[in-house]
Structure 1
Amino acid sequence: MTAGLSGSFLDSRGPLPLRGQKPVCSSSVSMELFPSPYGLQQEYETLFTSSSLDFLHQLISTFNEEVDQVLGLRVSRKAQLDLSGDLPGFLESTINIRRDPDWRVLPVPPRLQRRHVDIGDLAPCDTQRFIKALRSPAQGLQVDFDDGNCPTFYNQIKGIHNVLKAVHNQFPNVPDISQAPVLMLRPRAWNMVEHNIMVEGREAPGPLVDFGLLMFHCGRKLYENKSGPFFYLSKVESFMEARLWNKIFIWTQQKLGLPVGSIKATVLIENVLAAFEMEEILYELREHSAGLNCGIWDYSASFVNKFGHRQAFLLPDRSKYVNMEKRFLRSYMDLLVQTCHRRGALATGGMAALLLPQDPQSDSYRRVLATVTRLKLLEIQAGVDGFMVYDLSLIEPMQKLFKLHTEGENQLDQLRHDVTVTPEDLLSMPSGGVTLSGLMYNIAVGVLFINAWLSGKGHFFYRGQVEDSATAEISRSQVWQWIRHQTGLEDDSRLVSRRLVSDLTKEIMMELKVLCPSVSLPSAADMFLEVVLRRDFPEFITSYLNQDHTFITSQDPGQVEAVDSHLPRSKL
């Protein structure tokens, strides 16, 4: 494949479109690239060169079929659980892996050994916040193309180009990439597609586009600076998916001339089925593993995803009854730490979403800091080697907390021999009911998230904390499940029903219109109701927005750069 700077892309079978033209629709074209979003012509040409497109084409065509296979495996596993009524357990077929005491993951490079506090939900298309994070004292940055990011073509190109600039030291007054917080690059999850790139007549898998461009433009530079390439892998559901990622890593390293094991990846255990395969996931990635991560909301939402139609798995009000001290979440975190440390892998906790108020002398500031400290101390005491915060003002207090309660670079020596976790522990739902305030909060978060996406933003701020697709997932999941089971409110005799949710949505809209005046807010409310009132549970709200309500439009650059403009400057 060849390409000129004019933007015409060719292969041996035909041309790809010039910028400003519609894509060629021809069976002879093996790869199609849509035109540049407005205002990003230079970034577009930098990323999409003849060489990078050839690499992307090979990567995607090589693994397209296997991506379909792992997604098909998800569907078949869900169908089997539904039809049989069975519950997941630790796999008999892989018992030898779990019983073998000798295997370990390869040690991670020095820059990953000590990452007590990372910045999370960092959408790199927000240039101002990205630069501020690079200048911060954080030890790592979760550069997020997934949960905290809205994957418009504009945002993806802007974000990947910003990573390229950071890696190649093109931002002024930013530390060299070897000294800046280490970049933990988080491509989109398997459920996401890239509408603007077609390979062999099919839309490209979103994670392969993100991963491929990041590796092609930044992989070698990161490796040479002993600062990567390091990744987060989202929404992995089985060891077969980890096996596919490992094959992709090996193929990519060979193509780019990097040693095997150069790529390191942390797998986010965000699904209840993956919790039963943590050792197997580490085993599949043992040359490329940077450990496992646990987080509360995507993981909790996965229970509704897999078992939400079963009365026994009714998840109570998350605001009142769901936290990391509950048996099913505490068991999951303890097992993750034990599994990782037994195999020499790092275990990381979730993200503190609360925002510190401006005035350090205020009661609200002390209250928020005390809450974050208490919750993160639970994770430190469980043995995690690090966690994330959103608010940059929390970096130093949380680093001090780690220093006060731990010794050394990490807690790999905490083997947690005291932990014995059974399937019953992992599947034990907390007791509790549904409150009116919890129901209204979930509705508000769901509507505001969809509204943010319609504005090209992947996260927003509500009642003193950041919300993203993870909190949107648990919010809309709970509303759907409570309607499905006609759950009673603790406050009165009403049942959660279609009528009640519709009426409350109208009531909440009065508040939201004042809080967030937006022309897309009514559409967001309609789409939220469509999601929670459907007969069948939509697997991911992001898939629903990205595919059922196809999301192809380019965003005005002013929208993207203003993602956090309504926050005080210290929060940027």
Structure 2
Amino acid sequence: MTKIILLQSPPPKLVDVQKSVFCQDALEFVSKLHRTFDFEIEKLYKDRFARNAAIQTRNSLDFKISPERNDTTWKVGPIPSRLQNRHLDLGDVSPSNAAHFIEAVNSDVQGIQVDFDDGHCPTWRNQLLAYHNINLLVNGKLPGAPPSISTCPVLMLRPRAWNMIDHDILIEGKEAIGPLVDFGILMYHNAKKLYEANSGPYFYLSKLEGSSEAKLWNEIFVWAQNELNLPYGTIKACVLIENILSTFELEEILYALKDHSLGLNCGIWDYCASIISKFGDRKEFLLPDRNKYVNMDRHFLNSYMKLVVKTCHARGAPATGGMAAAMLKPGSNGTDDESKIIINKVLEAKLKEIKIGVDGFMVYDVRLVPYVNELWKKNGTTPNQITRQINTNVIALDLLTIPQGGVTSQGIKHNVAVTILFIYHWLAGIGHFFYNGNVEDSATAEISRAQIWQWIRFSPPLEDDPNEQVTPNLIEKTASSFAAHARKNLCRSSAERKRLTAAKYMSLEIFYSRNPPEFITSYLNDNHKFRTLHNKELLSNL
């Protein structure tokens, strides 16, 4: 039997939950999963390191040349009936928040992004609550939720991405791999019942860096289906194209998952952040103020979405767009003038995606659901648009040509604020928050801190004050000014004030870093401040 150690004792009132979630058979399933794929996962990390080093010596990227790209005959496996129409998913739904989770499963949408990644903070308590609430829902025991999983929106389970290590579990003396823990626990407890209800198990896969990583996930799916006596092809997964490298291997990613594929998804902010991560030390990749100059109308992002749609539809797979992060003001039912403006902006943006050919997308605010459903009724007479073939010829230069534009004072203030507030909330065990009428999560934190880092590196002048450039001193003043304002309006206790101060200095650390962390969530997850706040450092050998 594998030696597996939980490094956390149960939080108050969750003793029985921990025993149930991490029962001996579930632990053995997770440990066997790790044993089986340990070598391949270590290779994945080494390949990422080598690939990043190689990129520094290359002038550009180009599409992968492969047999499956030239073979026009293959298609992905059949799409299950409940996935034929996924016009609308709710995004960033952390199942650790029972009230939000219950609201989501009662909504008039086709799917729910059940999130362990962008909108979720993986404290031990949050992990236990998330697993437990999903288990209750699947078994018809979650108070306030529909009694049958077959009548709920489809659960699109999104495990943590490969960059996330689970520091709370040791397997054979090694820290566990976050996505394998999530996948293993979710599969062990829920896969059979989801399958019997014609409702899964279905997944979103985050932050893949190419087809080799999709191939590894496919091998994991096949292994899990065999272990749990599920038919081959039961698991379906949609890959979020959030990394610039993956855009050059779309065909290969679909082929690697093939019979387990549920197409591809566009995630704009992680995607833009990855461009800075891979090429941001080159001036030609200087990304301008994102709120003013970066959107799906810009050629590099419009080309990216068209390529995703074209590739998916050619292979019989659905292509989904990103999430509308806009929020109506508290208490609004959407009929006031301010809310009407927000709703119209969301509908205008999503109509453009529909016209490009997407088969669905996400929103966060459930109050937007009826308006978006009406938009689909008017513009989507079929469950999906897969039969619609996109006539576009996207070349590498289309994807790598950064839009023209400058840096604004408001853009600096916004990016600094989002970074500080994300870290502040993460240290409190919260994975997303609301700011200036939008939901913010790790994706927006990634692009915010990446832009500030890049602007410091190249010191561009400010559009609204050409005599002033972006400097470390300007960023420090902006961060201090925002922190002082937030201290008065956000913090009610000395603990919150200390957390805000820590968030400011941690933000400055990554803004100034010579070699910044590739993922802000890795930086925070591995940080002693976060681990001290949430780890009791008590061993529980189960």
TM superposition score category, shorter chain reference: over 0.9
Q: 1:39 aligns with which of 7, 13, 16?
A: 13
Per-residue CA deviations over 1:174-194 (Å, capped at 9, x if unaligned) read 221001011000000000011
Question: Are the counterparts in 2 of residues 37 and 555 from structure 1 also a CA contact under 8 Å?
Answer: no
Aligned to 1:307: 279
**Per-residue deviation at 1:510?**
2.4
Aligned to 1:24: none
**Per-residue deviation at 1:314?**
0.3
| Whole-angstrom CA distance in 1 between matches of 2:333 and 2:8 | 47
Please give the residue correspondences for 1:211-230 in structure 2 after superposition, counting only pairs within 5 Å.
211-230=183-202
Aligned to 1:274: 246
3-state SS of the aligned residue for 2:271? helix
Structure 1 runs not aligned, ≥5 long: 2-10, 12-28, 557-572
Question: Are the counterparts in 2 of residues 196 and 552 from structure 1 also a CA contact under 8 Å?
Answer: no
Question: Residue 509 of structure 2 aligns to which amino acid in structure 1?
Answer: E
Question: Are the counterparts in 2 of residues 192 and 205 from structure 1 also a CA contact under 8 Å?
Answer: yes
Question: Are the counterparts in 1 of residues 455 and 470 from structure 2 also a CA contact under 8 Å?
Answer: yes
**Per-residue deviation at 1:86?**
2.6
Structure 2 runs not aligned, ≥5 long: 536-542
Tell me, yes or no, if structure 1 residue 496 matches structure 2 residue 467: no
What is the count of residue pairs matched by the alignment?
526
| Whole-angstrom CA distance in 2 between matches of 1:361 and 1:331 | 35
Per-residue CA deviations over 1:355-398 (Å, capped at 9, x if unaligned) read 12315332211110011011111111111111000000111110
Runs of 4+ in 1 over 3 A off after TM superposition: 29-34, 548-556
| Whole-angstrom CA distance in 2 between matches of 1:105 and 1:99 | 15
Tell me, yes or no, if structure 1 residue 539 matches structure 2 residue 540: no
**Per-residue deviation at 1:507?**
1.2
Aligned to 2:539: none
| Whole-angstrom CA distance in 1 between matches of 2:130 and 2:142 | 14
Please give the residue correspondences for 1:311-390 in structure 2 after superposition, counting only pairs within 5 Å.
311-357=283-329, 358-390=332-364
Question: Residue 354 of structure 1 aligns to which amino acid in structure 2?
Answer: A
Q: Percent identity, please.
A: 50
Aligned to 1:565: none
Please give the residue correspondences for 1:125-136 in structure 2 after superposition, counting only pairs within 5 Å.
125-136=96-107
Per-residue CA deviations over 1:442-475 (Å, capped at 9, x if unaligned) read 0000000000000000000000110000000000
| Whole-angstrom CA distance in 1 between matches of 2:352 and 2:155 | 26
3-state SS of the aligned residue for 1:408? coil
Question: Are the counterparts in 2 of residues 154 and 554 from structure 1 also a CA contact under 8 Å?
Answer: no
3-state SS of the aligned residue for 1:552? helix
**Per-residue deviation at 1:321?**
0.4
Question: Are the counterparts in 2 of residues 142 and 184 from structure 1 also a CA contact under 8 Å?
Answer: yes
Question: Residue 489 of structure 1 aligns to which amino acid in structure 2?
Answer: L
**Per-residue deviation at 1:33?**
4.8
**Per-residue deviation at 1:173?**
4.0
Question: Residue 128 of structure 1 aligns to which amino acid in structure 2?
Answer: A
Question: Are the counterparts in 1 of residues 207 and 243 from structure 2 also a CA contact under 8 Å?
Answer: yes
Q: 1:51 aligns with which of 19, 25, 30?
A: 25
Tell me, yes or no, if structure 1 residue 526 matches structure 2 residue 505: yes
3-state SS of the aligned residue for 2:464? coil
| Whole-angstrom CA distance in 1 between matches of 2:333 and 2:20 | 43
Per-residue CA deviations over 1:503-548 (Å, capped at 9, x if unaligned) read 1111112222233213211110010000110111210000000114
Q: 1:181 aligns with which of 144, 149, 153?
A: 153
| Whole-angstrom CA distance in 1 between matches of 2:121 and 2:11 | 15
Question: Are the counterparts in 1 of residues 102 and 144 from structure 2 also a CA contact under 8 Å?
Answer: no
Question: Residue 471 of structure 1 aligns to which amino acid in structure 2?
Answer: T
Please give the residue correspondences for 1:413-562 in structure 2 after superposition, counting only pairs within 5 Å.
413-416=387-390, 418-492=391-465, 493-517=467-491, 518-519=496-497, 520-549=499-528, 551-552=530-531
| Greater mean alpha carbon deviation, residues 66-75 or residues 547-556 | 547-556
| Whole-angstrom CA distance in 2 between matches of 1:107 and 1:553 | 47
Per-residue CA deviations over 1:291-335 (Å, capped at 9, x if unaligned) read 100021000111100000000100000010000000010000000
Tell me, yes or no, if structure 1 residue 97 matches structure 2 residue 71: no
| Whole-angstrom CA distance in 2 between matches of 1:297 and 1:32 | 34
Structure 1 or 2: more helix by fraction: 2
3-state SS of the aligned residue for 1:286? helix
| Whole-angstrom CA distance in 1 between matches of 2:9 and 2:45 | 29
Question: Residue 130 of structure 2 aligns to which amino acid in structure 1?
Answer: G
Question: Residue 259 of structure 1 aligns to which amino acid in structure 2?
Answer: P
| Whole-angstrom CA distance in 1 between matches of 2:432 and 2:342 | 20
Q: 1:150 aligns with which of 121, 140, 151?
A: 121
3-state SS of the aligned residue for 1:260? coil
Aligned to 1:296: 268
Distance change in 2, residues 1:351/1:310 (3 Å): same
TM-score by length of 2: 0.95
Question: Are the counterparts in 2 of residues 385 and 410 from structure 1 also a CA contact under 8 Å?
Answer: yes
| Whole-angstrom CA distance in 1 between matches of 2:436 and 2:6 | 43
Distance change in 2, residues 1:527/1:307 (3 Å): same
| Whole-angstrom CA distance in 1 between matches of 2:356 and 2:220 | 33
3-state SS of the aligned residue for 2:204? strand
**Per-residue deviation at 1:551?**
3.4
Distance change in 2, residues 1:202/1:113 (3 Å): same
| Whole-angstrom CA distance in 2 between matches of 1:289 and 1:360 | 37
| Greater mean alpha carbon deviation, residues 36-45 or residues 182-191 | 36-45
| Whole-angstrom CA distance in 2 between matches of 1:303 and 1:54 | 39
| Whole-angstrom CA distance in 2 between matches of 1:408 and 1:140 | 17
**Per-residue deviation at 1:116?**
0.7
3-state SS of the aligned residue for 1:114? coil
Please give the residue correspondences for 1:373-412 in structure 2 after superposition, counting only pairs within 5 Å.
373-412=347-386
3-state SS of the aligned residue for 1:272? coil
Question: Residue 174 of structure 1 aligns to which amino acid in structure 2?
Answer: A
3-state SS of the aligned residue for 1:409? coil
| Whole-angstrom CA distance in 1 between matches of 2:533 and 2:89 | 30
Aligned to 2:538: none
| Greater mean alpha carbon deviation, residues 275-284 or residues 482-491 | 482-491
